[in-house]
Structure 1
Amino acid sequence: MTDSTAERRHELSSFLRARRERTSPSDVGLPGTPRRRTPGLRREELANLAGISTTWYTFLEQGRDVRPSLQVLTAIADALRLGEPERAHLIMIAADETHPGEDSEYLAPEVADVPKMVNPNPAYVTGSSYDLLAWNDAAVELFPGAIDAAKPNLARWIFTNPAARDALPDWPVVAQGLLARLRTNAGKHPGSPRFQRLERELRTSSPEAEAWWPRYDIATSQAGAKRVRSRSGQEQLMTYASFHVSDQPEQILTIYRPA
Structure 2
Amino acid sequence: MTLSSPSSSNAPSVAPPLDATPARALGEFIRAHRERLSPMAVGLPPGPRRRTPGLRREEVAQLCGVSPTWYTWIEQGRPVSASADALARIAVALQLSRAERAYLFELAAQRDPAEPDPAAQDAPASLLKSVELIDAPAYVLDRQWNALRWNAQAAALFVGWLDGERDRNLLSFTFTGAGAQSLIVDWETRARRLVAEFRADSIRHLNDAPTRALIDSLSSASDAFARFWASQDVGEREGGTREFNHPTRGRLVYDQITFKPAHREDLKLVMLVGV
For structure 2, which runs of at least 5 residues remain unmatched after alignment? 1-18, 112-122
Q: Could you tell me how far apart the structure 2 residues matched to 1:234 and 1:151 are?
A: 24
SS in 2 for 1:55: helix
Amino acid at match of 1:85: A
Larger displacement relative to structure 2 (210-219 or 236-245): 210-219
Q: Could you tell me how far apart the structure 1 residues matched to 2:145 and 2:55 are?
A: 33
Structure 1 residues 33 and 160, CA, compared in 2 at 3 Å: closer, same or farther? Answer: farther
Structure 1 residues 33 and 128, CA, compared in 2 at 3 Å: closer, same or farther? Answer: farther
1:104 aligns with: none
SS in 2 for 1:185: helix
Return the offset for 1:143.
1.2
Which of 82, 88, 100 lines up with 1:86 in the alignment?
100
User: Could you tell me the TM-score, scaled by structure 1's length?
Assistant: 0.86
The C-alpha deviation readout for 1:186-211, integer Å capped at 9, x for no partner, is: 22223222221111222222222122
Contact 1:11 1:187 in 2 (8 A): no
Larger Rg: 2
1:224 aligns with: 240
Q: Could you tell me how far apart the structure 2 residues matched to 1:32 and 1:163 are?
A: 51
Q: How does 1:116-131 map to 2 (within 5 A)?
A: 116-119=132-135, 121-131=136-146
SS in 2 for 1:218: coil
SS in 2 for 1:188: helix
2:169 aligns with: 153
Amino acid at match of 1:183: R
Which of 155, 170, 195 lines up with 1:140 in the alignment?
155
1:257 aligns with: 273
Structure 2 residue 196 is the aligned partner of structure 1 residue 180:
yes
Return the offset for 1:96.
4.8
SS in 2 for 1:229: strand
Q: Please state which structure has a larger fraction of its residues in helix.
A: 1
**RCO comparison, higher one (Cα < 8 Å, 6+):** 1
Return the offset for 1:94.
1.5
Amino acid at match of 1:67: S
Q: Could you tell me how far apart the structure 2 residues matched to 1:85 and 1:95 are?
A: 15
Q: How does 1:26-41 map to 2 (within 5 A)?
A: 26-30=40-44, 31=46, 33-36=48-51, 38-41=52-55
Return the offset for 1:218.
1.5
SS in 2 for 1:191: coil
Q: How does 1:61-100 map to 2 (within 5 A)?
A: 61-96=75-110
Q: Could you tell me how far apart the structure 1 residues matched to 2:54 and 2:205 are?
A: 28
Structure 2 residue 25 is the aligned partner of structure 1 residue 25:
no
1:196 aligns with: 212
SS in 2 for 1:245: coil
2:60 aligns with: 46
Amino acid at match of 1:204: S
Return the offset for 1:231.
1.2
1:101 aligns with: none
Structure 1 residues 63 and 190, CA, compared in 2 at 3 Å: closer, same or farther? Answer: farther
Amino acid at match of 2:168: P
Amino acid at match of 1:122: P
SS in 2 for 1:125: strand
Q: Could you tell me how far apart the structure 1 residues matched to 2:178 and 2:185 are?
A: 12
- RMSD over aligned CA atoms reads 2.3
Return the offset for 1:149.
5.2
SS in 2 for 1:256: strand
Q: Could you tell me how far apart the structure 2 residues matched to 1:32 and 1:130 are?
A: 46
Return the offset for 1:19.
1.0
User: Could you tell me the TM-score, scaled by structure 2's length?
Assistant: 0.81
Q: Could you tell me how far apart the structure 2 residues matched to 1:32 and 1:160 are?
A: 46
SS in 1 for 2:103: helix
The C-alpha deviation readout for 1:107-134, integer Å capped at 9, x for no partner, is: 9333222222114x10000112211111
Which of 129, 142, 156 lines up with 1:113 in the alignment?
129
Count of paired positions: 245
SS in 1 for 2:79: coil
Q: Could you tell me how far apart the structure 2 residues matched to 1:150 and 1:138 are?
A: 17
